[in-house]
Structure 1
Amino acid sequence: EDESEEEPKLKYERLSNGVTEILQKDAASCMTVHEKFLALGTHYGKVYLLDVQGNITQKFDVSPVKINQISLDESGEHMGVCSEDGKVQVFGLYSAEEFHETFDCPIKIIAVHPQFVRSHFKQFVTGGKKLLLYERGWMNRWKPSVLHEGEGNIRNIKWRGHLIAWANNMGVKILDMISKQRITNVPRDDISLRPDMYPCSLCWKDNLTLIIGWGNSVKICSVKERHASEMRDLPNRYVEIVFQFDTEFYVSGLAPLCDQLVILSYVKEISEKTEVECCARPRLDIVQPLPESCEEISSDALTVRGFQENECRDYHLEYSEGESLFYIISPRDVVVAKERDQDDHIDWLLEKKKYEEALMAAEISQKTIKKHKILDIGLAYINHLMEKGEYDLAARKCQKILGKNTELWEFEVYKFKEIGQLKAISPYLPRRDPVLKPLIYEMVLHEFLESDYEGFATLIKEWPGDLYNNTIIVQAVVDHLKKDPQNRTLLRTLAELYTYDQRYGRALEIYLTLRHKDVFQLIHKHNLFSSIRDKIVLLMDFDSEKAVDMLLDNEDKISIDRVVEELENRPELQHVYLHKLFKRDHHKGQRYHEKQISLYAEYDRPNLLPFLRDSTHCPLEKALEICQQRNFVEETVYLLSRMGNSRSALKMIMEELQDVDKAIEFAKEQDDGELWEDLILYSIDKPPFITGLLNNIGTHVDPILLIHRIKEGMEIPNLRDSLVKILQDYNLQILLREGCKKILVADSLSLLKKMHRTQMKGVLVDEENICESCLSPILPSDASKSFSVVVFHCRHMFHRECLPVSNTVSSVQFCNICSAKHRGPGSAVLEMKK
């Protein structure tokens, strides 16, 4: 079938059981549907009550000829039947109530009041040449009245609420039973069609919406209330056609489906063999009404029995409102159409091999589907993908579909093995909750080991070591290494396997051989310091920086002495270790400082001078000897100066380095007048040196000492600029001194004013204060007596009479307590008298 075919909206099945038996001997002429049962009329005058499965529950012999119509009230307790021989019967299915009448013409249609079960609604209408209304009145007598006549046979009646719609040869009328007024007349469109061969189809969608199908025309009519101002002599209701459209074929039946329509169509086509018009299979269409057209939603051709001999009038469409069930009735067949549910939708998707969509639909509707299981759909999907050769996608789907079902997982893995696709499923095998049998994982690992070392290594790295038997896999790797001993991938993987198996020593050996970056992590993680005591050189060769950091961080596990001893034959590595040790702590490796002098001199001269400056444990004589042997001038100068031989150091700078700037800098550091004198003497016959001295000596030595010694006539480069700089430096010194003097004077004055303000403040004297001499309260108990108190700025207080008489010329007195310590600010007197 075409893959792009749209999914049908309805599903179909034949009504079987008792119906099959009936239609083998008889032919269906009409049927009425109730939510509890079905009523089927036949050409031989029988009426059968059926359950929804088609089983016969009751049989009535009504007439020897064709049953034209069966009508049921809403309760399903009363039934009306009319036949081709003019008989009309209305009776209770569960009561003795009954009406019989025989007319002199065929009665084509009957409709009982929807509320016939209620006593004041005992009404029904019949249609033959006249439209008759029967009402039960006084003494239970039935009174007929003519509602309409003169326009040919009445061929269809539908009663809903208070409205009766009927169709005759001229058109469709609607009667309001409340007002007993006819409120509309809808004429038929195509008068060329015989009304007995192409009968009108009527259907009430609700109490106010009537659907009319006649020929190939469909109208949807709405009954509306007329405004009081428009009534005059008109009925209080009117009908408006809200939708109208033509169909491709002839309408045999109508039914509502939400806001859509279900249309049963009679189809004629030209035979390819005889080129004569013949009957084709009837169609059941679902359409969406539009104001002047319709949109086809779905269309199905139905293979009913005997469709080749059927006419338009032989088909009927009945429906059950509550369940969306549609019954297609033909003389030899009754077909039931149902709305498709999710199970049907999934069936269709599976039939079209749309497994992904089917799986999604099942997951969304897993609470409502009854026929399908998500797992079964998923397994079918996996099989389908494997048949198509999409092994990776099939393996990926296993994760979601198989979930935690270990048996299914193992079954699927073996299926992948059978087709040689274990590699495809390996990334998706569960590793935790659930865990499969070790054999499954080992089988996959062996597959990779035979053909893909890199893939094997990846799995070993990703899979936890407890998924498989580690010993078996180790042995398999060892066997492969016998064929290829230098294979780095296998060696690296074997090291990881040894690590999982806690054989860290073997793993470490392999990592060191491979110079693998994880070697340090392995040592730290598993505390393998005892295993690396004799492998320090290997570690240093691999990554000296990481190795040294690790060794220094773990001095308690591998001592400094052990490391130095191991590196004895590799002095360059020994230097790296001792240098970093010294940078961390200047004192820890002090016993090796003498050795480090030679190591720095040999491998790292730039750090020799900083080492000599920072170390307090290296022997200076040994260092001087090495530096002099190697002609390390800067280091020798430093050592000479440190040993107190500054003049030799200065001489070496001047003679060896010929660098006046360094000589001046050295003299500044030593701050020794004799050095400056030596420097001047050495430079006096060297004009470039004199220039350097003139530019830098001004702040440390009087430049006159140098200038007086310059020989007359000597050409000195940039002499003018040097003299200008000396004068500028001198002026700058004068300015700085004056500035400092001003700052000192300003600060002194500010502090003096502050002290004066402080001394001018009053001092609180109260009853709690005492005389520092007699220790009595400073204030007398009798305030009326005169007294004299002396208060000093140091806050010591005395009675006047308790102070000794001063022998000094000045009358200023000082605090005895403070004067005993020192005479200073605050000891002067502040006298208070009363």
Structure 2
Amino acid sequence: MAEKLPANSDSGTDSTEEEEEVEPKFKYQRIANDLKNILNADVVTCTAVHSKFLIFGTFRGRVYLLDHQGNSVESNLSSTEQHTHKVAVNQVDVDPKGEYVATCSDDGKVNITGLFSCENNQNLSFGKCIKVVALDPDPKSRIRRFIVGEDKLTLYERNLLKKLKPTELCAVEGSVLSICWQGNFVAWASHLGVRVYDLSEKCSLGLMKWEVPSQARLENFRCHLRWSNEHTLLIGWVDTIRICVIRKRNGIEAASSNLPGYVVDPVSTFQTTFYICGLAPLASNQLVVLGYRKERSATYKALRPVLCVIEYKMNSSEEICTDSLTLRGFEEYTVNDYSLGCIIEENRYFIVAPKDIVVASLIETDDRVEWLIKHSKFEEAIDLISTHGGSLPILSVARLYINHLLTLKQYEDAAKLCLRMLGNNKALWEEEVFKFVKCQQLRSVSAYLPTSEDCKLDPHVYEMVLYEFLKFDAKGFLNLIKEWPPQLYDGLAVINAIHDNFRKQNANELLESLALLYSYQGDFESALRMYLKLQNKDVFELIRRYELYDVISKLIIPLIHLDRDRAFKILLDKKKIKPEVVVHQLEQNQEYLYWFLDELHKINSSNVFQRKLVELYAKYDRSKLLPFLRRSKEYVIQDALAICKREGFYPEMVYLLGCMGGVEAVEALNIIIHSISDIEMAIEFCKEHNDNDLWNVLIDESIKQPEIVTKVFDGIVDYVNPEIVVSKIKLGQTIPNLRESVIKMLWHYNSQKEVLCTSHEIQLDDYFDSHSEVVAFRRRAQHVSYDHHCPQCHRPVLMKSTSHRNGLVAFKCGHIYHQLCIPGSTTIGQCGECNMGNSDRSEEE
């Protein structure tokens, strides 16, 4: 079985500083099963990876074929001894179809073995150390070609007679250290650098010399070659990586016949912080590199190898992530003990050590989700599942995230997550809400609870939320009562809870909440009482909305006290509430009653409460009393007079007594003279009533007070004969300024008399002038034409026949009669036609 291998992500060095963990690119599994038993007795020296299996050579010269889980696979390799080398196997290669394996060793042998057929097996002995061998990568090939590298590079081809034909491709500067074959291009490394050979043109494309390390020898490091595609070559040697592209020369370059048709262009070169043990392509501009750290441990042991993802550009690079790997025996290994195999199509990488083989695979969605959850990166996990799917339900991750946020006491964020992820899942909502109950944080989730009909939770849930607000946040409780539809919870239960937990410091919020709840329950009278306790003017809106005019009959005084104008707007509408009901309630508060009746009188002056209004004006606003008495006729004068007498309101008494006339008018005049002491008012009173008795009383009273006699004389000129006034003055009575007053009075009297006489004369002259004009008008001749017809016989009044000629009678109204046609009873001065019309109108009237 495969064993999962944990990997530590770091920046490439063992650092004691705490750094945030980076999401890994790979997951790791150690190959076990039969491999474990093999490595207990032997060590790996080289490997070749195929999509179907793994093949490796050992220090003892054996070659093993295993599946990717480490189980042995039956093949010709395991059935014969002839394929075993005497010493360590230097290189293993496999054809694309996975049918043939080539191995070489320091024993000088090269073996090409069919895994399941012996038809094309080859065993060659060179008598010298063979470090590299490569099979033809063409999948159509039946192992007709292979290359062997020693102190020269030789291509072996099998002809139709199955005989091998060797062709020396190139003499090597030293010996061949590594080889990699792709299509028509063969790349190999020597002690000087790397060459690429074009098999189709049978020429070398040039030598790329490698920089010699300052503190080591180049030949002490294995050169790692990998074709990422037919024209891109990856080279990793010591601590330098070079990306090369094989391109065809352009027209100008190809003009020289001495140059190959293709050229090798290095497109990117950069260094790493470690020695390179292998490399492979990942994405278009990314590499997977197995590295051996340059540093040593405190005991001068090797550090753990690293698997690094590098993103490269022209001449720079960036490490995307670096995993430190704990391979068996890593402390004892050197840089050349490691190698990296890969299956490019599957993005699987085989990290090979002498005693261990670990497979690194790009982590899948489920692995990424698992890692993100483990590292509390729930938001990223949710986004990942939303984008790429996965076996783990997104709701499961969301619920774990909610638990995590609650643990961190991030209650608001947890509530928002519930809204975002739970949707209309009623069951999940109810489960998650109870988590907030345990934290006493239902207040945090209240704003996000579903309240629509399609996802209405159990009423108990909403009641728990309200109860928590009631305990800890009365204002928030009120806001919820306003916002939530009352159908969500049991209103009576919430009302009882308020009464059980009523606190004076939160009285306003709780009373308003009660008012709303009572309204929702239809108990409007209780709701109104709550609003009135609060002195909240929303009570008027409640009355208007629900037309609670019958309910407010017992609450009239509190409503007026709250807002007189808005209360009267309702109370003065007879259609909503009868004035009798209002007056009955306001008997307890006479001032409010006065305000109400005063406003009622403005819109209805003929109401039955005028007697009461007289009394209220007398008590609260006397300035309105006299205008009211003058304007209104519905009150009882005797009652009003009694009130005014009681209060000593003389002007009002004068008006009322004057209305009564007779003796009462005299009493009114005496009040003016003796109580009010206003002679001008007395004179005006007498003028208003124009009663001789009143004038006599006024004159008699004025004679008794000589200082006011002259004022009376001035005021009575047009109303009383001056002789009467003068005759009442006693002989020898001293009256200041009497002479001037009498002269003035007589002058006014004579002037008035002259005006009257002149007016009379003018009137007579006008009359006679008008009469003369009428007479003259009536005596004028009147035009008579043939168009006129007699109203009686309807014939023309003028006839040409002499036999019908007779006298005519013409009236000023325009009618003309034949003299013979006028009825005998008709008076000559009156038109019969007009008289008949007047008679008809009289009858109609």
Report what 1:253 is aligned to: 278
* Structure 1 Cα separation of the partners of residues 475 and 68 of structure 2: 67
2:346 aligned to which of 307, 311, 323: 323
Report Cα offsets for 1:77-127 as digits up to 9, x if no partner. Answer: 4443334433334455566641403222233222222214247x9322121
- Conserved 8 A contact 1:78-1:116: no
- Conserved 8 A contact 1:69-1:108: yes
Report what 1:26 is aligned to: 42
* Structure 1 Cα separation of the partners of residues 713 and 173 of structure 2: 151
* Structure 1 Cα separation of the partners of residues 494 and 333 of structure 2: 77
Against the structure 1 CA distance between its residues 598 and 2, is the aligned structure 2 distance closer, same or farther, given a 3 Å change threshold?
Answer: same
Against the structure 1 CA distance between its residues 35 and 575, is the aligned structure 2 distance closer, same or farther, given a 3 Å change threshold?
Answer: farther
* Structure 2 Cα separation of the partners of residues 107 and 578 of structure 1: 126
Report what 1:280 is aligned to: 303
Report what 1:176 is aligned to: 198
Report what 1:573 is aligned to: 592
Report what 1:143 is aligned to: 165
2:259 aligned to which of 227, 234, 258: 234
Q: Cα distance, 1:598 vs. partner?
A: 6.0
Q: Cα distance, 1:183 vs. partner?
A: 0.9
Report what 2:317 is aligned to: 294
Report what 2:189 is aligned to: 167
- Report the 3-state secondary structure (helix = DSSP H, G, I; strand = E; otherwise coil) of the residue aligned with 1:318: strand
- Aligned 1:734-745 pairs, distance under 5 A: none
Against the structure 1 CA distance between its residues 35 and 520, is the aligned structure 2 distance closer, same or farther, given a 3 Å change threshold?
Answer: same
Report what 1:63 is aligned to: 84
- Report the 3-state secondary structure (helix = DSSP H, G, I; strand = E; otherwise coil) of the residue aligned with 2:554: coil
Report what 1:308 is aligned to: 331
Report what 1:363 is aligned to: 383
Which is greater in Rg? 2
Q: Cα distance, 1:215 vs. partner?
A: 1.7
* Structure 1 Cα separation of the partners of residues 594 and 447 of structure 2: 49
* Structure 2 Cα separation of the partners of residues 804 and 139 of structure 1: 163
- Report the 3-state secondary structure (helix = DSSP H, G, I; strand = E; otherwise coil) of the residue aligned with 2:346: coil
Report what 1:670 is aligned to: none
One-letter code of the match for 1:2?
E
Report Cα offsets for 1:181-215 as digits up to 9, x if no partner. Answer: 11111123227755664111111232222222222
- Report the 3-state secondary structure (helix = DSSP H, G, I; strand = E; otherwise coil) of the residue aligned with 1:365: helix
Q: Cα distance, 1:486 vs. partner?
A: 11
TM-score (norm 1): 0.68
- Conserved 8 A contact 2:234-2:242: yes
2:247 aligned to which of 217, 220, 224: 224
Report what 2:542 is aligned to: 522
Q: How many residue pairs were aligned?
A: 665
Q: Cα distance, 1:238 vs. partner?
A: 1.8
One-letter code of the match for 2:286?
Q
* Structure 2 Cα separation of the partners of residues 363 and 31 of structure 1: 40
Against the structure 1 CA distance between its residues 470 and 177, is the aligned structure 2 distance closer, same or farther, given a 3 Å change threshold?
Answer: same
Report what 2:520 is aligned to: 500
TM-score (norm 2): 0.67
Against the structure 1 CA distance between its residues 189 and 606, is the aligned structure 2 distance closer, same or farther, given a 3 Å change threshold?
Answer: farther
Is 1:264–2:287 an aligned residue pair?
no
Q: CA RMSD in A?
A: 4.8
* Structure 2 Cα separation of the partners of residues 514 and 116 of structure 1: 93
Against the structure 1 CA distance between its residues 168 and 626, is the aligned structure 2 distance closer, same or farther, given a 3 Å change threshold?
Answer: same
Between 1:55-64 and 1:454-463, the stretch displaced more is 454-463
- Report the 3-state secondary structure (helix = DSSP H, G, I; strand = E; otherwise coil) of the residue aligned with 1:380: helix
- Conserved 8 A contact 2:297-2:303: no
- Report the 3-state secondary structure (helix = DSSP H, G, I; strand = E; otherwise coil) of the residue aligned with 2:84: coil
* Structure 2 Cα separation of the partners of residues 373 and 632 of structure 1: 97
- Report the 3-state secondary structure (helix = DSSP H, G, I; strand = E; otherwise coil) of the residue aligned with 2:544: helix
Report what 2:495 is aligned to: 474
Between 1:257-266 and 1:1-10, the stretch displaced more is 1-10
Report Cα offsets for 1:688-714 as digits up to 9, x if no partner. Answer: xxxxxxxxxxxxxxxxxxxxxx99xxx
* Greater relative contact order, per chain length (Cα 8 Å cut-off, separation 6+): 2
- Report the 3-state secondary structure (helix = DSSP H, G, I; strand = E; otherwise coil) of the residue aligned with 1:366: helix
Q: Cα distance, 1:340 vs. partner?
A: 3.7
Report Cα offsets for 1:5-41 as digits up to 9, x if no partner. Answer: 4444333222333433433333222222333443333
Q: Cα distance, 1:175 vs. partner?
A: 0.8
- Report the 3-state secondary structure (helix = DSSP H, G, I; strand = E; otherwise coil) of the residue aligned with 2:537: coil
Between 1:470-479 and 1:312-321, the stretch displaced more is 470-479
Is 1:548–2:577 an aligned residue pair?
no
- Conserved 8 A contact 2:570-2:576: no
Report what 2:791 is aligned to: none
* Structure 1 Cα separation of the partners of residues 533 and 375 of structure 2: 59
Against the structure 1 CA distance between its residues 591 and 369, is the aligned structure 2 distance closer, same or farther, given a 3 Å change threshold?
Answer: same
Report what 1:563 is aligned to: 582
Against the structure 1 CA distance between its residues 453 and 224, is the aligned structure 2 distance closer, same or farther, given a 3 Å change threshold?
Answer: closer
- Report the 3-state secondary structure (helix = DSSP H, G, I; strand = E; otherwise coil) of the residue aligned with 1:322: helix
- Aligned 1:580-659 pairs, distance under 5 A: 580-581=599-600, 585-586=603-604, 590-592=607-609, 596=613, 603=620
Between 1:216-225 and 1:441-450, the stretch displaced more is 441-450
Report what 1:108 is aligned to: 131
Report Cα offsets for 1:221-240 as digits up to 9, x if no partner. Answer: 22232234434212122222
Q: Cα distance, 1:179 vs. partner?
A: 0.9
Q: Cα distance, 1:503 vs. partner?
A: 2.9
Report Cα offsets for 1:568-601 as digits up to 9, x if no partner. Answer: 4544433443454455x557x5444665566567
- Conserved 8 A contact 1:202-1:211: yes
Against the structure 1 CA distance between its residues 627 and 40, is the aligned structure 2 distance closer, same or farther, given a 3 Å change threshold?
Answer: farther
Q: Cα distance, 1:50 vs. partner?
A: 3.8
Against the structure 1 CA distance between its residues 572 and 58, is the aligned structure 2 distance closer, same or farther, given a 3 Å change threshold?
Answer: same
* Structure 1 Cα separation of the partners of residues 222 and 617 of structure 2: 118
- Conserved 8 A contact 2:108-2:125: yes
One-letter code of the match for 1:57?
V
- Conserved 8 A contact 1:77-1:117: no
- Conserved 8 A contact 1:225-1:237: yes
Between 1:207-216 and 1:334-343, the stretch displaced more is 334-343
One-letter code of the match for 1:250?
Y
Against the structure 1 CA distance between its residues 578 and 96, is the aligned structure 2 distance closer, same or farther, given a 3 Å change threshold?
Answer: farther
Report what 1:792 is aligned to: none
- Conserved 8 A contact 1:498-1:506: yes
Q: Cα distance, 1:132 vs. partner?
A: 1.3
Report what 2:553 is aligned to: 533
- Conserved 8 A contact 1:157-1:166: yes
- Report the 3-state secondary structure (helix = DSSP H, G, I; strand = E; otherwise coil) of the residue aligned with 2:295: strand
One-letter code of the match for 2:295?
E
One-letter code of the match for 1:272?
A
Against the structure 1 CA distance between its residues 135 and 633, is the aligned structure 2 distance closer, same or farther, given a 3 Å change threshold?
Answer: farther
- Aligned 1:348-427 pairs, distance under 5 A: 348-354=371-377, 358-370=378-390, 372-427=392-447
- Conserved 8 A contact 2:237-2:276: yes
2:59 aligned to which of 28, 34, 43: 43
Q: Cα distance, 1:326 vs. partner?
A: 1.7
One-letter code of the match for 2:357?
V
Against the structure 1 CA distance between its residues 5 and 484, is the aligned structure 2 distance closer, same or farther, given a 3 Å change threshold?
Answer: closer
Against the structure 1 CA distance between its residues 607 and 202, is the aligned structure 2 distance closer, same or farther, given a 3 Å change threshold?
Answer: farther
Q: Cα distance, 1:411 vs. partner?
A: 4.6
* Structure 1 Cα separation of the partners of residues 437 and 542 of structure 2: 36
Unpaired runs of 5+ residues, structure 2, are 1-16, 685-709, 716-739, 742-786, 788-797, 801-813, 817-845
Against the structure 1 CA distance between its residues 213 and 463, is the aligned structure 2 distance closer, same or farther, given a 3 Å change threshold?
Answer: same
One-letter code of the match for 2:131?
K
1:185 aligned to which of 199, 207, 210: 207
